[in-house]
Amino acid sequence: MIQFDTPRGAYPVTRMRRMRRDDFSRRLMRETVLTPDDLIWPIFVLEGKGQREAVPSMPGVERLSIDLLVEAAREAQRLGIPAMALFPVIPMEAKSLDAREAYNPDGLAQRAVRAIKNAVPELGIITDVALDPFTTHGQDGLIDDAGYVLNDETVDVLVRQAISHAEAGADIVAPSDMMDGRIGAIRAALEAAGHIHTRILAYSAKYASSYYGPFRDAVGSAANLGSGNKYTYQMDPANAEESIHEVALDLAEGADMVMIKPGMPYLDIVRRVKDQFGVPTCVYHVSGEYAMLKAASQNGWLNEKAVVLEAMISMKRAGADAILTYYAPYVARWLAE
């Protein structure tokens, strides 16, 4: 037997395992809790009636027509999920170079908002403010002859889109495009139009991530984007300090909440932002993260419930106040068991 002539640290006065021994003491010292209040449920919305389409790269996620979306909203309410985020799937014939369908008062997103607010008024509705579902090229903005995404011209369209969402009854508008100055422009327009209660969830630190692939399949922008990329507006995954600069600007321009995206590979950013600003901080557990966990679970390689709940608690532990995740209804059901 090895003989130690000096005490090994603080042992045995301090035995870290004492508190871990029993369930009651583990519960007493648990630092982070997860509840359905932490969840935002993203849903893809389709034209038509009674339409339900699977997303091949996201097993378990479906695109729903508005009538079925309203059923899902009732389910969210029953499960105690505070809010839903809507992502419209726009038919090719409604896409254009100027993305004018984005601010059509009778567009798919605007009709979806009205239908849900009519049926389930207490459920928070978040709309995506970005042009990629509406452009023929799949970029989040208007482009010049060289294909460069124009900032200020795009912001003008985003403002019209955000106002049309607020007029339809959206509680939160969420610009996910990464143009400069759009938060300030949208805030000013909302105030001027009397929408002083409409919250802005700013995608402040949105990275140019390859984890968005399944989402682009789901909304059908992958084919339009082709071999294009979003490097001239979304952030470089190598950067962290820049996220602080981005968040500071969006808060100064009037954001109520900020979003870090993607989720698990970017938890260092979540922690930095939360520590630095102490504002409502959301994290987007994106489509590729969903696809990875789902695929491994379907193969029997991971225990789905265990790994998903671990992913959720990790995002909260990093400082997230709310988690936007395709797993939201699963998580709410597991928490209710």
Q: Identify the active-site residue in 49, 95, 117, 206.
A: 206
Residue 101, contacted partner among ligand PBG, Mg ion, none, CB below 5-8 A by kind: none
Choose the binding region for ligand PBG from 76-84, 128-136, 187-195, 246-254 (rule: CB under 6 A).
Answer: 128-136
176 binds, among Mg ion, ligand PBG, none (CB under 5 to 8 A by kind): ligand PBG
- Shortest approach of ligand PBG to residue 57 CB, angstroms? 10
Cα separation, 211 vs 287, whole angstroms: 7
By the rule CB under 6 A, 286 interacts with ligand PBG? yes
246 binds, among Mg ion, ligand PBG, none (CB under 5 to 8 A by kind): Mg ion
For residues 34 and 331, what is the distance between their CA atoms, to the nearest angstrom? 9
Name the residue nearer to ligand PBG (CB basis): 120 or 164.
164
Q: Tell me how far, at minimum, the Cβ of 108 lies from ligand PBG, in Å.
A: 15
Span from 10-18, 49-57, 90-98, 208-216 in contact with ligand PBG (CB under 6 A) = 208-216
Cα gap 114→121, rounded to integer Å: 10
Contact 87, 43 (CB under 8 A): yes
Say whether residue 287 binds ligand PBG (CB under 6 A): yes
Could you tell which of Mg ion, ligand PBG, none binds residue 327, using a CB distance below 5 to 8 A set by kind?
Answer: none
Task: Compute the half-sphere exposure of residue 252: CA atoms within 13 Å on the CB side of its CA.
Answer: 8
Residue 212 lies near ligand PBG (rule: CB under 6 A): yes
Give phi and psi for 335, each to the nearest 5: -70, -25
Closest by CA to 176, choosing from 131, 211, 138, is 131
Q: Give 23's contacts (C-beta < 8 A, 6+ positions apart).
A: none
Q: Is 246 a known ligand-binding residue?
A: yes
Backbone angles phi, psi at 305, to 5 degrees: -60, -45
Task: Determine if 132 is a binding residue for ligand PBG (CB under 6 A).
Answer: yes
- 8-state DSSP, 256: S
List helix spans (H) across 130-195.
151-168, 182-192
Helix 241-253 to helix 267-277 angle (10° resolution) is: 50
Active site residue 117: no
Contact 156/127 with Cβ under 8 angstroms?
no
Which of ligand PBG, Mg ion, none does residue 286 bind (CB under 5 to 8 Å by kind)?
ligand PBG
- The answer to whether 87 and 108 are in contact (CB under 8 A) is no
Q: Which is nearer to ligand PBG, 120 or 134 (CB)?
A: 134
140 binds, among ligand PBG, Mg ion, none (CB under 5 to 8 A by kind): ligand PBG
Question: How far apart (Å, rounded) are the C-alpha atoms in residues 333 and 80?
Answer: 10
* DSSP calls for 68-127: HHHHHHHHHHHHT--EEEEEE---GGG-BSS-GGGG-TTSHHHHHHHHHHHH-TTSEEEE
CA–CA dist 173, 234 (Å, integer): 19
Using the 8-state DSSP alphabet, how is residue 140 labeled? S
**Cβ-based nearer residue to Mg ion, 38 or 246:** 246
User: Which one among 90, 115, 116, 130 touches ligand PBG, defined by CB under 6 A?
Assistant: 130
Among 176, 243, 297, 325, indicate the residue that binds ligand PBG (CB under 6 A): 176
Residue 246 sits in the site that holds Mg ion (CB under 5 A):
yes
Q: Supply the minimum distance, in Å, between the C-beta of residue 245 and Mg ion.
A: 8
What residues are designated binding site for Mg(2+)?
A: 246
Binding residues: 246
Binding site for ligand PBG (CB under 6 A): 128, 130, 132, 140, 176-177, 212, 215-216, 230, 286-287
Provide the annotated active-site residues.
Answer: 206, 261
Question: Which residues of the shown chain bind Mg ion in the complex (CB under 5 A)?
Answer: 246
